[in-house]
Amino acid sequence: MSVVDHSAIELSPRISEAGVADYIALLKPRVMSLVIFTALVGLVLAPGHFHPVLAFTSILCIAVGAGASGALNMWYESDIDALMSRTANRPIPRGRITRPEALTFGMTLAFFSVMTLGILVNWFAGALLAFTIFFYVVIYTIALKRWTAQNIVIGGAAGALPPVVAWAAATGSLSVEPLLLFLIIFFWTPPHFWALALFRSDDYARAGVPMLPVVAGPDATRLQILLYTIVLVAVAFAPWPLGYFDAVYGVTSLLLGAAMLALAVNVYCRREGTEARRATRKLFAFSILYLFALFATLLLEVVARALAPLIW
């Protein structure tokens, strides 16, 4: 008598019931929307004329590349996603999509996004997009995330690259401006994610992910949030006095920076109870608004400059 009924296994292959919505969830649509927005800003800031069809193609490829990174991230992290309340509802832990399906989906999207950007726009941008996907999946997700508390500091580079890719798509080269946008997102990432990690530290501890609050404790994390916020505010303000962005951006950056700094100080000072949790959540929510408003200001400046000759 056989312990395992092999005939039953052979006759019952898993047949997917995953719908389009499950595959869209694999793309991390909320992250993708921020990627599209920051890439759009990189694109409109780039000098010279860029045909709208090529601009649309570039943004589409960058968005699909970001989605591919999200799918590959969920493929690799399905074991820890199942352990955390924030991620337990993702398609793989829920059993809607299998790991091989997610891997195939992610690799297919990564291939097509890079090849399409390379063939239709330019290979420099295509190579940068390939590097971004590689950095997010291999360097951040596979190598760093489960190994070091500095995971999101180094891994943040992947999230900061979309405006650089967009600039490269428009110009075929790089310049100081896209690197400034890169630095703003790079230094924005630690306070943003550590604020999240502070109120989700139980989740991360259960999953064995060495986020800073789990490894170094909440107080050390609060100090790091404050220090990175100071650097962020300075980096975000610098382009104005350096002459890269206009006064409207400079003043907006100062006002937003002051609010961000005040919230980071609040997180640093309030360390116990509901007040502390509320301060952390406020900083997390405001950090999203901060980055959005900063980039929206740059976008509006370009639009206003383009429309000014038509109005006056």
Of 31, 60, 231, 296, the residue at the interface with another protein (CB under 8 A) is 60
The least CB distance from residue 277 to another protein, in Å, is 40
Of 116, 132, 151, 252, the residue at the interface with another protein (CB under 8 A) is 116
Is 131 near another protein (CB under 8 A)?
A: no
Length of the chain: 312
What are the CB-based long-range contacts (under 8 Å, 24+) for 171-177? 171/46, 171/47, 171/48, 172/122, 172/124, 172/125, 173/124, 176/244, 177/45, 177/46, 177/239, 177/244
Q: Angle at Cα 231 formed by Cα 34 and Cα 217, nearest 5°?
A: 85
The least CB distance from residue 60 to another protein, in Å, is 7
Task: State which residue, 103 or 120, has the beta carbon closest to another protein.
Answer: 120
Task: State which residue, 36 or 54, has the beta carbon closest to another protein.
Answer: 54
Alpha helix stretches (DSSP H) within the chain: 6-11, 20-26, 29-45, 52-76, 78-81, 99-120, 123-134, 151-160, 162-171, 176-199, 201-207, 212-215, 218-237, 247-269, 273-311
Is 6 near another protein (CB under 8 A)?
A: no
* Binding to another protein in span 227-256, by CB under 8 A: none
Judged by CB under 8 A, the number of residues near another protein is 22
Is 175 near another protein (CB under 8 A)?
A: no
Of 83, 112, 227, 230, the residue at the interface with another protein (CB under 8 A) is 112
By CB under 8 A, which span of 11-19, 147-155, 226-234, 279-287 interacts with another protein? 11-19
Give the C-alpha separation, 107 to 103, whole Å.
6
Q: Enter the DSSP assignment of 47.
A: S
Of 36, 98, 124, 302, the residue at the interface with another protein (CB under 8 A) is 124
Is 130 near another protein (CB under 8 A)?
A: no
By CB under 8 A, which span of 120-128, 138-146, 228-236, 295-303 interacts with another protein? 120-128
Q: What is the DSSP string of 175-239?
A: -HHHHHHHHHHHHHHHHHHHHHHHHTHHHHHHHT---HHHHT-HHHHHHHHHHHHHHHHHHHHTT
By CB under 8 A, which span of 70-78, 114-122, 234-242, 253-261 interacts with another protein? 114-122
Is 29 near another protein (CB under 8 A)?
A: no
Answer whether 34's CB lies under 8 Å from 291's CB: yes
| Contacts with another protein, residue ranges (CB under 8 A) | 13, 15-20, 23, 51, 53-54, 57, 60, 112, 116, 118-120, 122-124, 172
